[in-house]
Amino acid sequence: MNELYQEVVTLPSLGLPYGETLPGGQVTLEPFGVREEQLLQKPGSAARRQLISTLLKCCVKDCPVDVDDFLIGDRLFLFMQIRRISLSDQWTFDWVCEHCEERVRDQLLISEATLCGPIAERGEEDEEVEWVGEHEILLPLRKKTVHWRHLTGRDEKAAINSAEQLRKKGLKPREGDPGYIYRMASALTRLDGEAVGFIDAQNFVANLKARDSLALRTSMEIHQIGYDFSSEKECPSCGWMNDVTMNFELEEFFRPKQP
Ligand SMILES: [Zn+2]
C-alpha cells in the first residue's frame, strides 16, 4: 500500500463561518500528483479555468464542508498551502519600483506569509474569537448603512459565470474586472437595515459614487480573511519605500522560479 503524505492546516477563519461542521477549522491536505498537474497545465482547459476549485477538490481530504462553501480567503489559503506541500514553500514574484521603475525579483515563504482574520485575532493566547457574519459601514455620501458578508467559492463561481454571460452577449462591463459589480452586489445583505435582493443590490452598487465605493471596499479590506500579501519594501537601486502587494502568476504556481 502507498504511504500517502498528508498535512493538517488551520484555516484563517478557524472554521467559524461553518458553524459546528468544522470545529477549529482544521483541514487535511494531500499534494497534487502528475495527473492533476498535466490536467491543469492544459491551456484553456476547464480544469485550469477553475484552478482553485480543481485543486481543492483533489487535495482536500475527508472534509465535512463542501470546498465551494469555503470563504474565498480560506480557499486562497488552501490553494497556497497545496502549492507549498506539492512543490515548494518559496514563491518568487517581481515588483516594479514606483520611483525609478527598477524591476525587483523578490520571494516569500508561503509558510511565513501574514494571515488575517480570526486566526490573527486569536493571538498567542488562543483567545476565543467571536464570528461576525455581517459587517456594517455607513457610506459617507449616500448616508446609507450597508451590511455585507464574506463571499464563498460558490459566489465567486457565480460572478465568473455572470461575467462570461456578459461577454457572450457582447456587453462591455463598466469596470476593468467584469465580475466586480457582481461580487460587491453579492456581498450586500442589507441597506439601512432592510434585507436587499440581488438585483437591487446590483443597481445600488453600480450607481455608487467613488467615495462611497471606496468606503465599502475599505471596510472589506479591514475585515479581510486570509492572507495579507502587502508589505513595505525598499528599492535596492534608489532606496524608495514601496507599498508592494505580491502578485499571482499561474506559471509560478506550477514551475517555481529560482530567486
Ligand atoms: Zn527604485
What tens digit of pLDDT does each residue of 131-157 get?
A: 999 999 999 999 999 999 999 999 988
Identify whether residues 112 and 232 lie together within a single domain: yes
99 located within any domain:
yes
Q: Is the pTM of this model over 0.85?
A: yes
Identify whether residues 230 and 212 lie together within a single domain: no
pLDDT of residue 104: 94
Q: Does pLDDT of 223 surpass 90?
A: yes
Task: Kindly give the distance from the C-alpha atom of residue 252 to the centroid of ligand 1, in angstroms, as a whole number.
Answer: 24
215 located within any domain:
yes
Q: Does pLDDT of 183 surpass 80?
A: yes
Identify whether residues 32 and 97 lie together within a single domain: yes
Identify whether residues 191 and 142 lie together within a single domain: yes
The pLDDT-based confidence of 255 (bands split at 50, 70, 90) is confident
Identify whether residues 55 and 77 lie together within a single domain: yes
1 located within any domain:
no
Task: Kindly give the distance from the C-alpha atom of residue 91 to the centroid of ligand 1, in angstroms, as a whole number.
Answer: 22
Identify whether residues 151 and 26 lie together within a single domain: no
Residue 33's domain comprises 7-121+226-254
CATH number of the domain that residue 206 is part of: 3.30.2220
259 located within any domain:
no
Task: Kindly give the distance from the C-alpha atom of residue 245 to the centroid of ligand 1, in angstroms, as a whole number.
Answer: 16
Mean of the per-residue pLDDT values for the chain?
89
pLDDT of residue 82: 95
Q: Which residue in the block uniquely carries the three cell numbers 515588483?
A: 95
Mean pLDDT of 21-32: 94
Q: Does pLDDT of 35 surpass 70?
A: yes
Q: Which residues pair with 92 in a beta bridge?
A: 107
Identify whether residues 95 and 143 lie together within a single domain: no
pLDDT of residue 172: 62
Q: Which residue has the higher pLDDT, 130 or 38?
A: 130
Task: Kindly give the distance from the C-alpha atom of residue 242 to the centroid of ligand 1, in angstroms, as a whole number.
Answer: 8
**Closest listed residue to residue 217, CA positions, set 250, 175, 246:** 175
Per-residue burial over 158-182, b = 16 or more CB atoms within 10 Å of its CB, e = otherwise: bbbebbeeeeeeeeeeeeeebbbbb
Task: Kindly give the distance from the C-alpha atom of residue 93 to the centroid of ligand 1, in angstroms, as a whole number.
Answer: 16
Mean pLDDT of 206-234: 94
